[in-house]
């Protein structure tokens, strides 16, 4: 299974989170994805639930994986890339002694080892060695594109291609043995977007002289959006929809005066960072009522430019 983040790019901007006969609902929903659903299945269901054709998600979860899936509705789909970039947290089971074709429990067994002699300390040391800034080779069963083709499409045709390693960051990688299940470890991983949890498990198995795969995988957090924010897909209603401003709560929020709001609504660059802005951006610009106007980014000069304008769109 993968912890890989993926962006479905939509069209449009923001609004209120209400519904209309013409545009459907706009905003963000935090879904607890069930096992057996693809991320695209969830998107299709949300189109029907909210009467909205523009729907996109931030951070793919494989069918067997569960947990936090952020889904943008309507013009808010344009904001998904800022959510895709947020750090993520997963809990998983790492099963030592068996390698599979997909690096998770859904694949065919491709190797078996007796790893009963591996100690808990050795497993923790292997996890520690994979903490920090590392390079990962994406698995063939993934949504990464090589030569214009997604790897999982090539894998289904029995084609394997070279994949350049990608730099990712693992901020925390804790492992503990699962009682009564020798060779199985519960892992909790905090990582950057683009990190494959199943590759971490495979790397641990290799480092310990054998193989391993992911049993269960659950994403528990994307940025500040955690399990307390989630709704099951079958229990989604309009009151679950967050406004675009709420969707951007992990960015630095800047409240601007009407004069500046007018410039932002026209999509103009600003000569300076508005008073109250902190950090290096991106910044979520809101009006005095708290409605999102745009997201601005730094330019390397005193000027800042709009990345996504939602006011009036």
pLDDT tens-digit map of 276-298 = 778 888 999 999 999 999 999 98
CA distance 245 to 305: 18
Residue 215 host element (H or E): strand 212-222
Tokens of 85: 């970039």
CA distance 84 to 81: 5
| pLDDT number for residue 273 | 77
* CA proximity to 310, closest of 86, 78, 85, 81: 78
Residue 120 host element (H or E): helix 120-129
**pLDDT 10s digits, 96-119:** 999 998 899 988 999 999 999 999
Residue 73 host element (H or E): strand 66-73
**Lowest-confidence range among 49-63, 162-176, 262-276?**
262-276
For the chain, what is the mean pLDDT? 86
| pLDDT number for residue 15 | 32
Has 120 been annotated as catalytic?
no
Is pLDDT of 304 > 70?
yes
Quickly state the pLDDT bin for 255 (edges 50, 70, 90). very high
CA distance 187 to 265: 46
Is pLDDT of 12 > 50?
no
Tokens of 110: 């491709």
Neighbour-count burial of 266, counting CB atoms closer than 10 A to its CB (0-12 exposed, 13-18 middle, 19+ buried): exposed
Quickly state the pLDDT bin for 226 (edges 50, 70, 90). very high
Angle, helices 197-207 vs 120-129, to 10°: value is 120
Mean pLDDT throughout 2-21?
Answer: 34
Tokens of 22: 């013409």
* CA proximity to 101, closest of 53, 141, 128: 141
Quickly state the pLDDT bin for 274 (edges 50, 70, 90). confident
Is pLDDT of 146 > 70?
no
CA distance 90 to 68: 10
260: alpha, beta or left? (left if phi > 0; alpha if psi -120 to 50): alpha
pLDDT cut 90: percent of the chain above it: 70
270-274 contact pairs (CB < 8 A, 24+): 270/296, 270/303, 270/304, 270/305, 271/302, 271/303, 272/302, 272/303, 272/304, 273/302, 273/304
Mean pLDDT throughout 86-105?
Answer: 95
| pLDDT number for residue 302 | 80
CB–CB of 72/79 below 8 Å?
Answer: yes
| pLDDT number for residue 18 | 36
Quickly state the pLDDT bin for 244 (edges 50, 70, 90). very high
Residue with the bigger pLDDT between 38 and 155: it is 38
CA distance 219 to 215: 14
pLDDT cut 70: percent of the chain above it: 84
**Lowest-confidence range among 3-7, 70-74, 172-176, 248-252?**
3-7
Quickly state the pLDDT bin for 151 (edges 50, 70, 90). low
CB–CB of 269/306 below 8 Å?
Answer: yes
Q: Which residues contact 262 (CB under 8 A, 6 or more apart)?
A: none
Of 8, 62, 202, 229, the active-site residue reads: 62
**pLDDT 10s digits, 116-132:** 999 999 999 999 999 99
Q: Which residues contact 191 (CB under 8 A, 6 or more apart)?
A: 3, 87, 88, 89, 90, 168, 169, 170, 171, 197
């Amino acid at each position: 299974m993968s912890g890989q983040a993926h962006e479905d790019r939509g069209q449009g901007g923001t609004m209120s989170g209400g519904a209309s006969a013409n545009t459907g609902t706009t905003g963000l929903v935090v879904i607890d994805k069930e096992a057996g659903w693809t991320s695209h299945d969830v998107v299709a269901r949300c189109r029907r639930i909210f009467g909205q054709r523009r729907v996109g998600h931030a951070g793919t979860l494989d069918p067997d994986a569960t947990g936090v899936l952020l889904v943008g509705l309507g013009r808010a789909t344009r904001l998904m890339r800022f959510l895709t970039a947020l750090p993520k947290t997963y809990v998983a089971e790492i099963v030592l002694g068996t390698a599979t074709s997909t690096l998770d429990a859904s694949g065919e067994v491709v190797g078996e080892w007796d790893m009963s002699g591996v100690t808990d300390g050795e497993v923790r040391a292997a996890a520690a060695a994979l903490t920090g800034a590392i390079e990962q080779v994406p698995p063939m069963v993934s949504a990464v594109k090589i030569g214009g083709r997604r790897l999982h499409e090539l894998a289904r045709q029995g084609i394997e291609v070279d994949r350049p390693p990608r730099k990712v960051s693992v901020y925390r990688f804790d492992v503990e043995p699962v009682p009564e299940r020798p060779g199985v470890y519960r892992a909790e991983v905090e990582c950057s977007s683009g990190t494959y949890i199943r590759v971490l498990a495979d790397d641990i198995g290799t480092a310990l002289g054998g193989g391993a795969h992911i049993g269960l995988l659950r994403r528990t957090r994307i940025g500040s959006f955690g399990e307390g924010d989630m709704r099951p897909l079958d229990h989604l209603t309009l009151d679950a929809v967050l406004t675009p401003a709420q969707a951007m709560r992990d960015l630095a929020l800047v409240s601007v005066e009407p004069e500046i709001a007018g410039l932002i609504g026209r999509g103009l660059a600003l000569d300076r960072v508005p008073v109250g802005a902190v950090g290096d951006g991106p910044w979520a610009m809101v009006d005095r009522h708290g409605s999102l106007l745009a997201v601005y980014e730094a330019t390397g000069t005193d000027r800042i430019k709009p990345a996504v304008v939602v006011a009036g769109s």
